[in-house]
Amino acid sequence: MGYQFDWGVIVREPYWHWLLNGFFKTLILGSISWGIALFLGVIIGTIRTLPIKTARAIGKIYVEFFRNIPLLVQLFFWYYVIPPMVGQWFNRMQNLPWIMAIFGLGVYTASRVAEHIRSGLNSVPRGQRHAGLSTGLSNFQLYRHIIIPYGFRLMIPPITTEFLTVFKNSALAMTIGVLELSGQSYKIGTWTFHSFESITAAVIGYLIIGLSVIGFMGWVEERLKIPGLLGGE
Amino acid sequence: MGLDLSVISRNSTVLLGGFYTTIKLFALALAGGLPLGILLGLGRLSSRKWIYYPVSAYINFIRNVPLLMVIFWIYFALPIVTGHNIGRLPSAIVAFIVFEATYFGEIIRAGFQSVKKGEMQAAYSTGLTYTQVVRYILIPIGLRRVIPSLMTQTIVIFQDTSLAYVIGLREFVRASTVVNAREVRSLEIFGFVAVVYLVICLAGSMISNRLEVEGE
Amino acid sequence: MANEEEVLINIDDVSKWYGEVQALDRISLEIHREDVSVICGPSGCGKSTLLRCINGLEEFQQGDVIVDGVSVKEVQNTKKIYKLRSKIGMVFQHFELYPHLTALENITLAPRKVFNMSKKEAREKGMELLKRVGIPEQAEKKPGELSGGQQQRVGIARAIAMDPQTIMFDEPTSALDPEMIRDVLEVMADLAEGGLTMIVVTHEMGFAKEVADEIVFMEDGQVVEHEGVETFFKNPESERAKEFVDRVLVHIK
């Protein structure tokens, strides 16, 4: 039983268009979720370093909760369990899978970013705190102008990895009906019975995204670099 | 709208069956991934270009691709390559070994790199061969150093098994969706699944922390 | 030239413990305006801890510190502590410049955020200060690009920028190479001459002899001796101080 490869499948319409569509959906899905993750992650990571016990506890519960449940299960929760509870009007919304995918991926990734931020903030030398406070800065100002910028830069390598991961994790959105890159490649497979080719095309798509992220973060690291400390002279 | 927890006990056979499949997949992925990871780790440290470059290319390739894609790919590729129909579970096992070994490989490589050169040279100077040095010095010392990271990755693998859902493997999550299709009690069913994962992974973290402390 | 009338900082019977270990043992001191007070003593005797208690960076269990009429103990965990700290400058052994900001930005950050100074005004003031400490050309450089001596001078400028009533120096030259120590000490001597109230923790007894008004000798968290500079070097009271002075004077010649 020989398998006939048909690589033309990928470049033919409408399949090529579907792939492209999926590719851009992945880009957008990943980027918006990443934005949410960064924003939430910095907040949660920061409160985990505050001297207030309840704040730290809330942060820890958030992280442990989202870290120890598979992303797939979380997405199911956001898509199947929560919307009916919010209301039927919400459940019937047109873009529900898309919205819940972005949201679910965002809050999940935030828990991972939070851990890196926490580690970074804790690595900022105590002397920096003393110096900032000694000039009369308030705790909030200290964090905003000194601790967070410094801590964040320390953590650029692991955060780059998380940025990569968010695009890979976006593939799971297909399980709740989002036709991003992997979803489209699967769909093409069911239409043409040439799944292998379409999946290969998708894999190449992810490689392109991965390389771009690495390139982009390299540029970011260059702009944010601290001479004498991280990668400077 | 009350909680109907009996839906779980009523369908416990299906759920347990799925869970059992999850464990099988997990255990075999681990059993294959770790040894392959050791080989990959060694490969990344090799001074022989014909080993180093292919291994590095392989690792970097896999790490840029979603696990979901690897699972699909292997599932559709294996029948083509071997000419036979391969079942879902074997497909998934192969995919997981291929994928997770790269992550193990990088962790183990770091562990190996932390073994001081002097210790290795001392071993060589007593006449041991490469394989013997690796087996009696490098692996025991290097691996021990990275046990916490390995454990964390193991917990990740346990969660990752849920992804076999996409090729229809009847593991724990798929089993729960089957039950949900019948009973439509998503909160209780998915809640149960979440709690099970939560408990197991938290327990795993605690064990890992304990090991880390004792290791010091 | 001790100005006997004006007490700026009154350290009143302060004791501090880190858990079981006592770091400060009933310290009582008066710091007068325009005085240069040098605190010296063996490592670990509590000198740095004392400084950090004065501006509320560390909490102490007993006693109080009154700075210009404000009780540190009272304002410790309130917003008022920020105001207090803006009146006390601090220079650190390891410079502690913010590595992600330029020298000028290091200096202007607090004036802009605490005093709401405009960016332009702050930059002008900052450049003035950089000129004063002798390194205006380093304004746009980041700390990692500066030598230790340059970094410390930026640190001093950063402290001066808040127009504080006093500046505390915590072993400002201990981390510097010998060639750079002189530059920094010169800046400090300059400030002293200008009438700034200074508290200097240091081992540089040459500087103390030349510039200080009084010496505080500490050991094991206690003040062992506290007198005018001349008296201390000519005729120290305690055995420990005598030993210390003898050893040090050999170095200075």
Task: Kindly give, in sequence order, each residue whose CB lies less than 8 Å from that of residue C233, ignoring residues fewer than 6 positions away.
Answer: C209, C215, C245, C249
Query: What DSSP element (H or E) covers B28?
Result: helix B12-44
pLDDT at C6: 87
DSSP state of C199: E
**SS3 label, residue C31:** strand
CATH number of the A20-180 domain? 1.10.3720.10
Does residue A201 belong to the interface with chain B, where contact is any CB pair within 8 Å? no
Of the candidate CATH numbers 1.10.1060.10, 3.30.110.40, 2.60.40.10, 3.40.50.300, the domain formed by C7-252 belongs to 3.40.50.300
Query: Using a CB-CB distance cutoff of 8 angstroms, which residues of chain A are in contact with residue B194?
Result: 69, 73-74, 77
Spatial separation of the C-alpha atoms in residues C198 and C189, rounded to whole Å? 10
**Could you report the per-residue pLDDT of B163-208, keeping only the tens digit for each?**
999 999 999 999 999 999 988 888 999 999 999 999 999 999 898 8
DSSP state of C136: G
Q: Count of residues for chain A? A: 233
**Could you report the per-residue pLDDT of B83-107, keeping only the tens digit for each?**
888 889 999 999 999 999 999 999 9
CB atoms near residue B12 (< 10 Å)? 12
Spatial separation of the C-alpha atoms in residues A144 and A124, rounded to whole Å? 13
CA distance C164 to chain A (A): 9
Sheet holding C62-67, edge to edge: C21-32, C7-18, C62-67, C70-71
pLDDT at A171: 96
Does residue A208 belong to the interface with chain C, where contact is any CB pair within 8 Å? no
What's at C159, amino acid-wise? A
Q: Higher model confidence: residue C93 or residue B116?
A: C93
Cα B36-B40-B44 angle, rounded to 5 deg: 175
C86, closest residue in chain A (CA to CA): A136
Domain ranges of chain B: 22-171
Spatial separation of the C-alpha atoms in residues A82 and A87, rounded to whole Å? 9
Which of A130, A135, A226 is the closest to C110 by Cβ? A135
Does residue A76 belong to the interface with chain B, where contact is any CB pair within 8 Å? yes
CB contact under 8 A, A77 and B190: yes
pLDDT at B130: 85
Does residue A70 belong to the interface with chain B, where contact is any CB pair within 8 Å? yes
Contact between A135 and C111 (Cβ < 8 Å): no
DSSP state of C137: G
pLDDT at C102: 93
Task: Kindly give, in sequence order, each residue whose CB lies less than 8 Å from that of residue A87, ignoring residues fewer than 6 positions away.
Answer: none
CA C100 to chain centre: 24
Does residue A103 belong to the interface with chain B, where contact is any CB pair within 8 Å? no
pLDDT at C244: 78
Sign of CA dihedral A164, B205, A64, A157: negative
Class of residue C215 by CB neighbours under 10 A (exposed 0-12, middle 13-18, buried 19+) = buried
Query: Using a CB-CB distance cutoff of 8 angstroms, which residues of chain A are in contact with residue B165?
Result: 72, 175
Give start and end residues of each alpha helix (H) in chain C. Answer: 47-54, 72-75, 80-87, 103-114, 119-132, 148-160, 178-193, 205-211, 229-234, 239-252
Sign of CA dihedral B13, B15, B20, B25: positive
Phi and psi at residue C12, to the nearest 5°: -115, 100
Q: Does A have 3 or more CB contacts under 8 Å with C?
A: yes
Q: Tokens 């710091």: give the residue.
A: C31
CA-based nearest residue to A124, from A144, A156, A147: A147
CA B179 to chain centre: 27
Spatial separation of the C-alpha atoms in residues A105 and A38, rounded to whole Å? 12
The tens-digit pLDDT sequence of chain C (253 residues) is 454 568 999 999 999 999 899 999 999 999 999 999 999 888 878 899 999 999 999 999 999 999 998 999 999 888 889 999 999 999 999 999 998 899 999 999 999 999 999 999 999 999 999 999 999 999 999 999 999 999 999 999 999 999 999 999 999 999 999 889 999 999 999 999 998 999 999 988 889 889 999 999 998 889 888 888 888 888 888 888 888 777 776 766 4
Spatial separation of the C-alpha atoms in residues C123 and C100, rounded to whole Å? 17
What is the predicted ipTM? 0.87
Task: Kindly give, in sequence order, each residue whose CB lies less than 8 Å from that of residue A83, ignoring residues fewer than 6 positions away.
Answer: A90, A91, A93, A96, A100
Query: Using a CB-CB distance cutoff of 8 angstroms, which residues of chain C are in contact with residue A138?
Result: 79, 82, 114
B75, closest residue in chain A (CA to CA): A196
Class of residue B10 by CB neighbours under 10 A (exposed 0-12, middle 13-18, buried 19+) = middle
pTM comes to 0.81
Query: What is the average pLDDT value for chain C, to the nearest integer?
Result: 90
CB contact under 8 A, C143 and A228: yes
pLDDT at A110: 96
Contact between C226 and C2 (Cβ < 8 Å): no
Which of C96, C114, C142 is the closest to A130 by Cβ? C96
Spatial separation of the C-alpha atoms in residues C1 and A55, rounded to whole Å? 52
Phi and psi at residue B9, to the nearest 5°: -65, -35
Query: Using a CB-CB distance cutoff of 8 angstroms, which residues of chain A are in contact with residue C112?
Result: none
Cα C235-C239-C240 angle, rounded to 5 deg: 105
The tens-digit pLDDT sequence of chain A (233 residues) is 467 888 887 788 888 899 999 999 999 999 999 999 999 999 999 999 988 899 999 999 999 999 999 999 999 999 999 988 888 888 888 889 999 999 999 999 999 999 999 989 998 999 999 999 999 999 999 999 999 999 888 888 888 889 999 999 999 999 999 999 999 999 999 988 888 889 999 999 999 999 999 899 888 888 887 776 654 33
Spatial separation of the C-alpha atoms in residues B97 and C66, rounded to whole Å? 68
Does residue A123 belong to the interface with chain C, where contact is any CB pair within 8 Å? no
**SS3 label, residue C127:** helix
CB contact under 8 A, B191 and A207: no
Of the candidate CATH numbers 2.30.30.90, 3.40.50.300, 3.10.180.10, 1.10.3720.10, the domain formed by B22-171 belongs to 1.10.3720.10
The band of B52, judged by pLDDT with boundaries at 50, 70 and 90, is: very high
CB contact under 8 A, C98 and A146: yes
Which of A134, A146, A229 is the closest to C144 by Cβ? A229
